[in-house]
Amino acid sequence: MKTKKFVIPLTENDVLDIKLTIQKNQIIGFALNFRSRISEVWYAIYRVDTAHGYLHEQRFWINPEPIHLPRFEGMSIKYLFNFFIDEIKKNWKRYRNYYEEKMKFR
């Protein structure tokens, strides 16, 4: 089993950290962590991963506790990985706005 890590820059102040767990050339787990630099400090805004044996997300503008996502059970890891990459790319600005409003950066 091996781990691959890389970063997708969205802007100079917004990035998507990706961690893949790979076994026999297959993704068996992942973590996607969207972070933003606000006032020169990096904050975790949104995370979705398969750690702890199940798919869950964390919406840090609401609460850092993991939210189980049972509606995705039975779907392939590859599908889930691609689905959530697309979701984060489409929604990261909205997630950042929620976080800034909740933490009173505005």
How would you write the pLDDT of the chain (106 residues) with one tens digit per residue? 899 999 999 999 999 999 999 999 999 999 999 999 999 999 999 999 998 889 999 999 999 999 999 999 999 999 999 999 999 999 999 999 999 999 887 6
State which residues form the domain around 68: 2-102
User: Which pTM value belongs to this model?
Assistant: 0.93
Q: Give which of 17, 39, 35 is closest to 92, Cα–Cα.
A: 35
Contacts 24+ apart (CB under 8 A), 50-56: 50/77, 50/80, 55/80
* pLDDT score at 80: 97
Q: What is the pLDDT of residue 105?
A: 75
Distance CA 104, CA 4 (A): 35
Domain total of the chain = 1
